[in-house]
Amino acid sequence: MLAAAVLGLLPWSNTAVAHGSVTDPATRNYGCWARWGSDFQNPAMAQQDPMCWQAWQTDTNAMWNWNGLYREGVKGNHQGAIPDGQLCSGGNTENGRYRAMDTPGAWKTTDVSNNFRVNVTDQALHGADYLIVYVSKQGYNPKTQRLRWSDLEQVARTGKVAPNSSMPVNVSAPGRTGHHIVFTIWQASHSDQSYYFCSDVNFR
């Protein structure tokens, strides 16, 4: 597969020390990598998937490092560490590598019902002190608005989760229709690493 071959050549790839991400519903950067990682030079991306195209042009590393969107040393103060408008980039973590994730627009969505499951892929078997899932409130428009904390409603929180390749969280988000953002915080157990994930969904 071309993506695997390219990843083996890229000096910025961190697959050897992979961490993880929400893979269903796909995060913005994981979704771009899943759709275009093996075909990243295809000019059709600009028309077929313009939000991925702008993200790819902004910083290719955000896609190749789809499993590394985290901050260290937050100590549970997520709202203090991540400013409004920068939630999807983890507060411009990694020197702004993921900043294009904050850009409003027609991001590709995953269809969900009002009761659905968030699946966190724990590649490095970090485990979790906790996972928190938020869903944007009805009336928020991800096509035109950067995400703020006040746009979110917490819909699930777990306790400690043992290291596992998959960490599912069942979510109930009634009253939503259309395009929304699912915002997930994964507090890893192995150290003070906080992961921040934006997944675009369409409530059927």
Angle, alpha carbons 111-147-168 (nearest 5°): 45
Q: Are strands 110-112 and 193-203 parallel, antiparallel or unpaired?
A: parallel
User: What whole-number distance in Å separates Cα of residue 146 and Cα of residue 123?
Assistant: 29
What is the pTM for the complete model shown? 0.90
pLDDT tens by residue, 13-37: 444 356 899 999 999 999 999 999 9
CATH number of 19-26+70-203: 2.70.50.50
pLDDT tens by residue, 156-183: 999 999 988 889 999 999 999 999 999 9
User: What whole-number distance in Å separates Cα of residue 180 and Cα of residue 132?
Assistant: 17
Any bridge partners for residue 122, and if so which?
Answer: 20
pLDDT of 56 over the 50 cut: yes
